[in-house]
């Protein structure tokens, strides 16, 4: 019984990510106060897009303030992953 539920859960997870068309395992994007965007990937690592729409590096551990006033710290520095996503978007 439990196993059947677990399988259903995995199947719906795959369906959701396929629907989102998510080649780089993007979990979410978060807008920052300064106009930059943080890309958060499913493995927990992050990358930065500056206000001009370019992927830029940021040191791991750097504090960032979100548009709604929260502070998050940079995990990883996924410039290439963000860059490839921006190219797909445009
Ligand atoms: Cu950052």
Q: DSSP letter for 69, please.
A: S
Distance 35 CA to ligand 1 centre (A): 12
Q: Please report the pLDDT score of residue 15 as a whole number.
A: 45
Spell out a b/e string for 36-67, using b for 16 or more CB atoms within 10 Å of the CB, else e.
bbbbbbeeebbbbbeeeeebeebeeeeebeee
> What's the CATH code of the domain at 74?
2.40.10.300
Q: Please report the pLDDT score of residue 80 as a whole number.
A: 94
- Assigned domain for 85 exists: yes
Rounded Cα distance between 72 and 90, Å, is 27
- Assigned domain for 3 exists: no
Q: How many domains does the chain have?
A: 1
Q: Please report the pLDDT score of residue 20 as a whole number.
A: 47
pLDDT per residue over 17-68, tens digit each? 444 445 659 999 999 999 999 999 999 999 999 999 999 999 999 999 999 9
Where helices occur in the chain by DSSP H, the ranges are 2-19, 79-89
- Assigned domain for 12 exists: no
State if pTM tops 0.75: no
Average pLDDT score over residue span 72-82: 96
Distance 74 CA to ligand 1 centre (A): 5
pLDDT greater than 70 at residue 77: yes
Distance 67 CA to ligand 1 centre (A): 13
- Assigned domain for 31 exists: yes
Range of the domain at 39: 24-89
């Amino acid at each position: 019984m439990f196993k059947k539920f677990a399988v259903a859960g995995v199947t719906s997870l795959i369906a959701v990510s396929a629907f989102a068309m998510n080649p780089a395992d993007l979990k979410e994007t978060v807008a920052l106060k300064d106009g930059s965007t943080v890309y958060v990937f499913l493995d927990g690592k992050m990358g930065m897009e500056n206000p001009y729409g370019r992927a830029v590096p940021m040191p791991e551990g750097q504090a960032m303030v979100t548009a709604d006033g929260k502070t998050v710290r940079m995990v990883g520095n996924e410039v290439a992953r963000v860059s490839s996503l921006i190219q797909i978007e445009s």
